[in-house]
Every structure is written in C-alpha cells, then in structure tokens.
Homo-oligomer: A and B are copies of this chain.
Amino acid sequence: MNINQNIKVAVDAIVFGYSENQLNVLLIKQKYGVLKNKWALVGGFVKDNETLFEAVNRELQEETGITVNYLEQLFTFGDDIQRDPRGRVISVAYFALVNSTKFNVRADSDAEEAQWFSIAALPDLAFDHKLILETALKRLQNKLTYQPIGFDLLPKEFLFSDLENLYCTLLNKEIDRRNFRKKILSFGIIEETDKFGSKKNGRPAKLFKFKKLKYNKLTKEGFVFDIYFA
C-alpha cells in the first residue's frame, strides 16, 4: 500500500469494579518513558496481525491477568493530535466490567504495578486518560438504565441490597427500596437461591442470581430492560 501515514494505533481499557459501595477503576503505573510513575489505563499498541478485540484482551491479560465479565468498544480518541507525547497515536478505548471482589491484582510479566482506585479519589492520569475515564463513566451510568450490566459488577450470587446500593451509588439517586425490588423482580430475570448472605447486622438476606439465559430469551421476544427514577 503506497500510503504514507505515520499514525500508531493503541487500545485502552477502562476496567470498572465495585466493592464496598464504591466504584473502582483499575490503573497501571507507568514504568518507563516520559510519563514514568504516572498512572494510566490498561492498554498498549495493537499488533499488525491481531484484531482490536484481541489486542485489548491481550493487554488485559499481560498487564493484570484479569478476566472481565463485560467488554465493549467505547470510543476512539483521535481528536487531540498531541494526546501522546511520543507521537501521533489514536486510541480505541474499551469499557470493561469486573466483579472485583474475586479478583486480586497481580503484578505481571511486564511487571508494572496494577492497582484499584476509587473513582472518588483518583490520582493524576497520563495522556488524555482522564477524558477517556469520564466518557466511560457516562456510558456506564447510561447503560445501567437500559441494560442489565449492573450484574457484571456483582458476584454471581448477590444480595438485593447490594444491587440496590449499586444503582444508588453509581447514579447518585435515592431509590425506594420497595419499588426497586418490585420492578426488578417483575422482569423475571433474577432468581432467588436458597442461600443467605450476611451483613454484620440485622436479618439475614437471601442471595439472588441473574438469569442471563432467560434475559437473552426475553430480549429476543421484545423485552426491554429499563429502570426509571423518580
């Protein structure tokens, strides 16, 4: 191909986790280069013979060893020509969800340091990663209301109160417990188990499961997941 172009293509992943009523993001400490010791999203350059999707998965694997529950393309950042001080780089950003309670960050092959940060207390970020993160957060908030992705931030079996808190926390809203429960249960996409989880205090609560297959089936029949708010 006789096109003369000197633009590099990278992928970045915004990995969200949720624990103790806090939304967290996974960041990596840069070990080399101008931005050494700054924190950045998981990511790196795409190889010539891998798809974008393979590239993100590889980076996630190499840099953190994590397995994500949900992954989708978010946006491609290429409108700031100088977003990377090393040269012209565009970044295809992906948006990932993890049940982070089961996940221990590992310092891996590339031996960078990976760490969870509460989005309430973020460090300075390298490149335009703050912008990317804000974009991802908006997407998360929107998507929560029309797709059942909240479940991907919770353990397989979860308490209703945790689901409720997740929605309250991420959307900054107060929700009526009774109406919320009624609404979610009316969808018929979660199932009561016979197990109980426990908080420190109070009456023990049933554990619930998200029925993904049922959800997929209903979706094909025209069902639309949707949570409104007062």
Q: A interface vs B, CB < 8 Å?
A: 1, 3, 5-9, 45-53, 73, 75-76, 78-81, 86-88, 90, 92
Q: Specify the main secondary structure of chain A where it touches its partner.
A: loop
B52 pairs with A76, CB closer than 8 A: yes
A78 pairs with B51, CB closer than 8 A: yes
A52 pairs with B90, CB closer than 8 A: yes
| This chain: copies in complex | 2
A3 pairs with B8, CB closer than 8 A: yes
A5 pairs with B48, CB closer than 8 A: yes
In the assembled complex, the Cα of A26 lies from the Cα of B51 at a distance in Å of: 28
In the assembled complex, the Cα of A3 lies from the Cα of B6 at a distance in Å of: 11
Q: Name which residue of chain B comes closest to A89, CB basis.
A: B1
Best-surrounded residue of A7, A75, A79, A86 (most CB of chain B within 10 A): A7
In the assembled complex, the Cα of A210 lies from the Cα of B1 at a distance in Å of: 46
Chain B residues near A90: list those with CB within 8 A.
Answer: 9, 52, 92
B5 pairs with A45, CB closer than 8 A: yes
Chain B residues near A79: list those with CB within 8 A.
Answer: 51-53
Chain B residues near A78: list those with CB within 8 A.
Answer: 9, 46, 51-52, 92
Chain B residues near A8: list those with CB within 8 A.
Answer: 1, 3, 5, 7
Chain B residues near A9: list those with CB within 8 A.
Answer: 5, 7, 9, 78, 90
Query: A88 with B48: in contact, given A76-B73, A76-B76, A79-B53 (CB under 8 Å)?
Result: yes
Apart from A6-B48, A9-B78, what are 4 other A-B pairs with CB-CB below 8 Å?
A49-B88, A51-B78, A52-B76, A90-B92
Chain B residues near A87: list those with CB within 8 A.
Answer: 1
For this complex, 10 residue pairs linking A to B, each with C-beta atoms less than 8 Å apart, are: A1-B87, A5-B46, A5-B48, A6-B48, A9-B9, A48-B88, A49-B81, A52-B76, A52-B79, A53-B79
In the assembled complex, the Cα of A44 lies from the Cα of B75 at a distance in Å of: 19
